[in-house]
Structure 1
């Protein structure tokens, strides 16, 4: 199809949000997402059909072909006819490896529905559950496609009864997970059902799929599928049950259009008042409303520069339009608005609410930013919350000092593209630290990208990221400003575990508490916080809370920004070793402030807040929380002893052992500090047959006998005095 013809066809469909579906393809690694995307793209005429499973249309980076995995994901816009109506489908392929989970979470902000893939042979795996959690957290509705059914038939030699039992178990497992994590009001509506067609089965590689509605409509039976698959009559099977028809019919029938989805998604993802004028425009996906869109992906193009992917929630975006970045207050002009076919961008004149589009020209954009009309301002969309936090850090420096400014600029761009990459530059030592979700994350998305820009670097071995926290409360401690004219009375206490869990799950999010926020207060009280404390909460940051329990203190409102800034500074680097803080509450009890603003500026307020917080933590017995991974290890049963020994040698804990036919599934919890080199050791221990998958990451108290050793090691690395500070109180 000619580029102009395709553009006109898509532009027409973009104007009808009722017939738009914004969907993500999500799954565990190697369960077939990109092959499925190839299949659907080929059926839409966007690539040759015989290249399905080989071309990998959405692999936009050379690394993806080298590593044989999706790292960045991409968007493909296609059309599909269902019940004599044309539909526009914006399909976002996403990575399956846990180290690239940021791309999944960011994609979930852009879409309204998700096709969850499961391998018929492996079943529900840890990353299947992770991507489902990411979707549910953004109120993205799922459907299920069970892939690689051909392998279950041919390789496992399952009888029809055994195959049906295996497929039914996958459906049950997915539904149990959905019901466990979804809000109660969606528990019944969002479960997937074989009988209504929200579950489909097939083989993306062999280009066929079936669902109950398609079987009823076409006359194809389950026996036909098994017989043709067993005889490897793949072409005949693909003609009888074409994958693109079955899967896209399921998408259109069971996943919401933007009008339906925004009615319930906006209150979850936007922090403004849904009853306000702009709130109603967002809920109604109003094309005539003010522009409100979120940047969900940033990619670099050697010719066009930075390309932003954005979901438009209200209003209209046009080529040459001035847009306002709400987060930064800056204004920029769009040079081009496009749809996507992976690497190719197809220009359109404009895009209305409900669409996912590319934007050329927003050189300062960052993932998660809110954009609007240049003459308007609105509340930002909520920060995109990732399930896992950065737990591995590397020190990166240029081999040639003159490359330092260029290196820092590249790192800033990379952190705008991937919000799980954290860059920290020590102003005193010049050390540049980059934190990510794992070694592969840092290697693929940081080190490789820097080298591609022609900069030689020296990277340290991986460093584990710790958190500083407390397990008892401090007394109230006085903090004085350097000029002695201002006093603050502060205490610190542990954050209740139930509230910490709610933060980890993304239920309670970072940010300043604006207005009364009755919904948050109610939830905090349900989790055990007193009514007065819930009312006093004014700021949440990195799983820490700041409470203002003062009453009627003169001038405090004028000094509050400096108070908050000082709180944030300590939370970014605690007293033990300047590691980030977590799971604690800082409470301001009382204050005395000088009447003259000159005597209560930031230089006076900052030290008066930072010292009592730090001293309070030391008095309460500050220690480290270390990251620990819960992992699933699949191994032949003969090697269970070797696996448990390997886990034990790494300060690990065996949580569970299950046996299925010839395979054992070992669930274990292991400190991240002990996980380096584990993959190779596991292969050696299991004759090359064992593999591990990440299930969860949590921060837990480090053993007491390691506290001082870890503190000294971190302080030495950071160039800090070796002496560990003690409370002066």
Structure 2
């Protein structure tokens, strides 16, 4: 039974000490699939809200914007109690957003959980965000269960028959399981490849005489040998899928408050029909029916072939009868009779009500309570806080690119603490903070038994609530009203004060009271400030109020501080002052999270999800807390959406700039996805995931954090710049030939666009060519791998055998000349030292990436032969989708893949400077200073000026020689000129737009998308309905206010979901100008009316303060009139 009523929250603190009876889970789904309504039903089971309000009050949505828009924008937690015969359980339930703009909130919730409830709308089926959350759950190794919601709409809206309803639900369930199968197959194949590589690596290491460790296949752990023989067809994946017969699926209507699993009706039918319960559990879902042949009831298969109703249809027929009686016929007498039959008591107030939906909710929630069905499934099928798998513990402690056995032994031992989940005082404290969120100080309770004096310091620390301050003010006022007019004389007798003495005493007391009231008022204002609470889970040990803990930053390396463990506490604190990745902090408060309310705790045991105060000065977004210096920081959260939409903000009043700066700092701390940047021109820029996310951030900045009115720029959308081969047709689709060839700034004598500079610094010859599309896509998809190649020195050489690349890794390093400065040299040395920690599969991934890149080059044509071994650098930031190729015959420097070697060439001293020039050129192209994409710069010749430069007349060059800055400038300018010599194009960021819309308004939706330069890529009608699921691509620059316009045009029938998809070239020449008479008539003299590329470029250049090809007044000396002469 469910623990309900007002007592449930009071029982929670006493139940937090047993991790076996704690379930940490989150609710995830596509937007508007019913997550918050389901959460309401579970919250109502504990008496926090009225049962009648469940599904309507949206208890977990406390923000004003959430209530106005009807969507969840933040993940919030509530602790619930659930009672079973064997004991009571704590359910830490986290409600997460479904809107794609707030996917980062889902990531913060998943990290703290061991399981998840996936909610799917049976009308819409598996949507885009449903797949995203399933992928997130898989990546974090948490177990899911399924709730198929909104079955009432199949009955009332779609008006399906019971048999059609069954097949529709079965189809939706099949969609979910099909996607789970995709995830599983991908993981199994990857694991097989990983184990095979481990075996090969072990064999290589065994053959190396200089390595003492000997590993052979027979020495592998038993589990690895078994898994090495795994295959998709041989692995048992029965526990992977959502199967009603297993009990991990609940059929529900959260709005009407009912839900059930197969096991519920198996118990019911077993008692009524006298059949075996275990048999019913397996046959109530599926192609089974009851036959009475031979006078005995039997359950047999083949219902569909024999045109019989499956057993599940019998359950649906009972539901149909309830809906038909109450919602269709609206028969009050039959409703009361039905309630009596089902054993449900309907209160008199509801019987008299004319709201039939209220009666339906009361009857169904009493007959098939949703909370009981879901919480029973959670307790039965989701792991407890103490049942963490070894694989998940390893993933939390060690990143995907690092071997676990490369961590210090002291750190590896902590994995047992993760899996043990013990609150014993001897166990190390391990806490993970997934995000920080702001709470008004007045909402946090305090310990009323502390007796702390009212001071501004105490108030600012959250020790007194606003109510308590108001009480103290009343006490002071009562003292003022009860002023004594008599005092003791020296003889001990009382006398009446004179009028002058009384006035003087009254004046003194009034001044004292005034001072006290002013002080209390200041303290009262302090109560309205935001307090940052850390959203955290205790994985091991016990966290106590007042305890000092180590706050570990994401770059903390246990190896650097293990030597400090031999010192005493005071010495450790002194030593850590010089170490920027560890801070010591004191816990000021621990709170049990109850949705909109908070309950103060003295301590938090292992397995609990709590809020922690006192960390706002040391934690920005996420952090690891521990009592052990050997603890490694938790791996980074997996974000499915990256911020791409930007705006510049400034205060209306320039004097409020310090407040804005402080508010931006708080906003950055409170939102896990937002990024704050300071531009070179002094502008503060906010980067967000989408338009809805942007609006929420601006509202938070003005109302909660900065508390000053701000002015925002137009949304700043990123672009990319690229080049293409000379086109063969113009905008009128006519062949370009003869004098019509208009290749801007291209040297007509050299169609290849070769740029040659021969000046006082030497000779440089290069050209820019577009990269093959497959190569650009590979570079874009493997950005993180390129960072490892460049920074960690994970070099691959395949001159002998690609499969032996792993053994060559230990010998291959980047050229030290590329380090440039001493700081870079130090960083590179550190990277080479840590390179040994990289996992075998990471080395293999780099090798595979190089092979894929080589294949893509070879497929592009003979001119790209051996290009993969000529790569000098990637850019921008040494990991971007642009390449610098070295084809200098006199400078055979090692490629980015090969091991370093000393090169006897004067160019070697300027190698880093040349690469820096390439990085600067690729990070800001000539069109509008946006990064380049898909460009290859081929350096064909480079030589320095001879040592005797007296003929040049440059005295500075004669005295000091060629400086690195001059080489950087030469490289940058020449590469930009090579870029300009080609046909330039703008590349736009594109949204993938998923829209669910009815057939009546599909045409209006098409016109809105077409007007904003979008295009439809897929469309399919939902079976059994008139709804269409449309997928379109839409430029991000055209997406502003798109959702509002679409809703207005379709009368609210269409709801888009926008998520960044890819980069797409805008195939319009931004510099094209009409030349022929026909072109002039069609496009006009300027040809700028329909040239969206030029419009975008001018807008970006204007925003950046760059020159644009526009004139305010073309003929300033000509007098003009604005009115027409009559």
State the distance in 2 between where 1:338 and 1:424 align.
33
1:247 equivalent in alignment to 2:374:
yes
Equivalent residues of 1:415, 1:422 under 8 A apart: yes
Q: Which structure has more helix as a fraction of its residues?
A: 2
Equivalent residues of 1:43, 1:244 under 8 A apart: yes
Report the alpha carbon displacement of residue 585 of structure 1 after superposing the two structures with TM: 10
1:39 equivalent in alignment to 2:41:
yes
1:59 to 39, 58, 61: 61
Report the alpha carbon displacement of residue 92 of structure 1 after superposing the two structures with TM: 0.8
Structure-to-structure mapping, 1:83-94, within 5 angstroms? 84-94=86-96
Equivalence for 1:310? 536
Report the alpha carbon displacement of residue 241 of structure 1 after superposing the two structures with TM: 1.9
1:626 equivalent in alignment to 2:988:
yes
State the distance in 2 between where 1:371 and 1:580 align.
35
State the distance in 1 between where 2:936 and 2:591 align.
46
1:223 equivalent in alignment to 2:327:
no
State the distance in 2 between where 1:395 and 1:380 align.
33
Q: Indicate the structure (1 or 2) with the bigger Cα radius of gyration.
A: 2
State the distance in 1 between where 2:754 and 2:553 align.
39
Report the alpha carbon displacement of residue 206 of structure 1 after superposing the two structures with TM: 2.1
Equivalent residues of 1:537, 1:548 under 8 A apart: yes
Report the alpha carbon displacement of residue 341 of structure 1 after superposing the two structures with TM: 0.5
Report the alpha carbon displacement of residue 501 of structure 1 after superposing the two structures with TM: 7.0
Equivalence for 2:11? 6
Report the alpha carbon displacement of residue 646 of structure 1 after superposing the two structures with TM: 3.3
1:411 to 653, 660, 664: 664
Equivalence for 1:184? 187
Equivalent residues of 1:683, 1:690 under 8 A apart: yes
1:322 equivalent in alignment to 2:518:
no
Report the alpha carbon displacement of residue 285 of structure 1 after superposing the two structures with TM: 2.8
State the distance in 2 between where 1:579 and 1:249 align.
55
State the distance in 2 between where 1:314 and 1:179 align.
34
1:716 equivalent in alignment to 2:969:
no
1:285 to 419, 428, 453: 419
Q: Secondary structure at the match of 1:464?
A: coil
Equivalence for 1:234? 361
Equivalence for 2:1018? 656
Report the alpha carbon displacement of residue 88 of structure 1 after superposing the two structures with TM: 2.3
Equivalence for 1:678? 1042
2:404 to 257, 264, 274: 274
Q: Could you list the per-position Cα deviations for residues 611-658 of structure 1 after superposition, in whole angstroms to 9, with x for gaps in the alignment? A: 858965774678654221222333333444443343233222221232
Q: Could you list the per-position Cα deviations for residues 672-723 of structure 1 after superposition, in whole angstroms to 9, with x for gaps in the alignment? A: 2222343344345445533333365222233342555534432321224559
Equivalent residues of 1:536, 1:549 under 8 A apart: no
Compare 2-11 and 546-555 and name the one that shifted more. Answer: 546-555
1:197 equivalent in alignment to 2:247:
yes
State the distance in 2 between where 1:306 and 1:500 align.
40
Task: Point out where structure 1 has 5 or more consecutive residues left out of the alignment.
Answer: 479-483, 589-603, 724-729
Q: Which structure has more strand as a fraction of its residues?
A: 1
Q: Could you list the per-position Cα deviations for residues 375-427 of structure 1 after superposition, in whole angstroms to 9, with x for gaps in the alignment? A: 61544333223222223222211000111121122112212222321222223
How has the CA–CA distance of structure 1 residues 204 and 477 changed in structure 2, closer, same or farther, with 3 Å as cutoff?
farther
Equivalent residues of 1:574, 1:614 under 8 A apart: no
State the distance in 2 between where 1:81 and 1:587 align.
71
Equivalence for 2:1075? none
State the distance in 2 between where 1:105 and 1:341 align.
20
Equivalence for 1:388? 641
1:520 equivalent in alignment to 2:842:
yes
Q: Secondary structure at the match of 2:89?
A: strand
Number of equivalenced pairs: 701
Compare 510-519 and 70-79 and name the one that shifted more. Answer: 510-519
Report the alpha carbon displacement of residue 74 of structure 1 after superposing the two structures with TM: 0.6
Report the alpha carbon displacement of residue 117 of structure 1 after superposing the two structures with TM: 1.0
How has the CA–CA distance of structure 1 residues 66 and 652 changed in structure 2, closer, same or farther, with 3 Å as cutoff?
closer
Report the alpha carbon displacement of residue 609 of structure 1 after superposing the two structures with TM: 7.3
Equivalent residues of 1:75, 1:93 under 8 A apart: yes
State the distance in 1 between where 2:128 and 2:1007 align.
23
Task: Point out where structure 2 has 5 or more consecutive residues left out of the alignment.
Answer: 1-5, 192-231, 271-314, 327-359, 442-461, 463-530, 555-579, 726-751, 793-833, 856-867, 884-894, 904-909, 940-962, 1071-1092, 1110-1126
State the distance in 1 between where 2:143 and 2:915 align.
38
1:95 equivalent in alignment to 2:97:
yes
Compare 108-117 and 319-328 and name the one that shifted more. Answer: 319-328
Equivalent residues of 2:15, 2:88 under 8 A apart: no
Q: TM-score, normalised by structure 2?
A: 0.55
Report the alpha carbon displacement of residue 338 of structure 1 after superposing the two structures with TM: 2.6
Compare 208-217 and 576-585 and name the one that shifted more. Answer: 576-585
How has the CA–CA distance of structure 1 residues 215 and 507 changed in structure 2, closer, same or farther, with 3 Å as cutoff?
farther
Equivalent residues of 1:544, 1:583 under 8 A apart: no
State the distance in 1 between where 2:787 and 2:42 align.
36
Compare 711-720 and 574-583 and name the one that shifted more. Answer: 574-583
State the distance in 2 between where 1:538 and 1:374 align.
42
State the distance in 1 between where 2:634 and 2:700 align.
32
How has the CA–CA distance of structure 1 residues 694 and 230 changed in structure 2, closer, same or farther, with 3 Å as cutoff?
farther
